[in-house]
Structure 1
């Protein structure tokens, strides 16, 4: 933009944000062209003035900034030089001051530390602390000693000491009582232990007795089996000891006799249950019923060693329930008469229960059994009398032999009556009553 050519008597006035120009002529081709082409010349002139003013202001600001920058750089260099000089001077002074304070040989700090912490210095901190602590502990010890040794209310541990003594006495008392109670319990346990030992000894003795009883019962069972074997051999029956063999559902029944088994298939079975102890009546019935069922027998006989073992409320040589009988056999005496009686009666009942038994005169057989039982009862009575009458043993023995012969005769009659049932003839029996 070209410079304006002022006219004579030109006046330019600026009031606030307004500019008033009077008699101003501007020679500028671009400005003249823009104004002539514009539909609003006034507006173009205002824009030109405003834009030019802003450009001039910006140029002036840039010039001022450059001046400030130049001046700042000049001042900064001056300050930097002055600060460097002062910093070097301050550093030198600081080094001297630090050396005067912290020099390990001549510094004030080393001297002060040596004076405050050296063992040889009376002003040393540790020495002064040690003296102060010693004085404080000495005074505290004396104060505590006076305080805790006094018996008045000023002693704070007096009550604690008294309570402690009381608690110690109470604990000692409880301990003595506990010891007495413990000693009592120990005595009680010793008694219980002794009782358990005695009970164990009794159980061991009982077990030994049971073992001996079992052995005794075993030997008695074997003796009964041997006696029945001899009787069965005379009758052509088969006798088997089955105590160790399981039957149909159990091991009840010690000896099984198959009637006529030696000469044929047999017509029935008799089971013998051997007992060396006394049973009750229900137990007797239960034992023989189980033995008959497990051994598939038609008749059951219980054999005991003496009258004392006969089941309660029952009698030997008497039939019960039509299929049970009790016999007494003592192997030490050797008399098999009662066992033979029970065997022959059971054999007769089994023979009568078969199909061939229909040809047998049951009434005659029953009568023969009754007569044989009566004779057997007489034998038992006389044998009982022999126990208390040793002076008449000889005569009684003859009478017993006679009656035994009579019993065997009656049994022979029974066998003869049974001949149609089993087709066998009776063989002589043993003469040993």
Structure 2
């Protein structure tokens, strides 16, 4: 069976790995660790196609340990027992490096079966996961391993790898010449959404699908690239003006309570595969433009964002659309951002003075001698759980930051504050 191009292109040296500069760049922590040859227990956390398996393979080579690979999706305790049985054999005389993919699919008992051998150093574990390890991996494993986060690859890194992949394919098609349009490679890199494996698979498909001309030249053009990625090219550059223009129109449409326009710009962002910008902007809008007019909006949006990130595209479009419609049809208020920005301006530009003594911490011996906490009035001892006393520093005693917006929820807040103070 022909080995997939994504495997044939897999680097065997750190300097050939694209991306992950924050970990693998010269002088960076993971580069230093692997170059030392003393490989510790590690957990690689990040999206698919970002180099986790590649780096694990290189780590095993540099450590001079016997490499075993398991996928927790279909592995069992028996698979681990089989590895353990090899620990005292000649093939594992230098120890074992176990690469465990998708470790979040192992239950507690399966994960704990590794602990004894991690402790005595007979097994070095490199586990990978696309899920947050602090939610899915048990503390006993986490306390014995270092977590490294792999990030989505940048387009420029994917382009480098794609051109390397084409050079390898040329060796398969010795009787043909391969050429390509830069725009086609750029398009495949863009729509891969940071997933190198996805991009390489698309290039491999494009090369083998392209028809050779009379001169036995296989040319990968934009039409082939679009066909093999099943994505329509769009005028969208994550670092260019169109990126910020679409995000601006997206937020302003939601702020303007136009659900149709909001969905249109969401569709543009989804088409470009820009999940990160969508999720980040929705969370901002929930507090900046809706805020206290509908306080539970941020909770709903957070749930929709979490669901979208777990599902991935194309299914992610559904909870994302739900979040957009909730925000676009919700009552609006900017009182939250106005209030915090006003408070920050005073902190950054004014002499804010000292905290009133009666508000300072008084939970230690000698606090009273320093005047801490004296004359503090505990609001719950008073009617309506409220008592008039000074909270702001003397220099800001008359400052007002929060002004309730004109909406049903904040009208109730204003009315409650009035009743509370008047008793």
TM-score > 0.5 by shorter chain: no
Largest Rg, 1 or 2 = 1
- 1 or 2, which has the higher helix percentage? 1
What is the TM-score normalised by the length of structure 1? 0.19
Higher relative CO (Cα under 8 Å, sequence separation at least 6) belongs to: 2
What is the TM-score normalised by the length of structure 2? 0.20
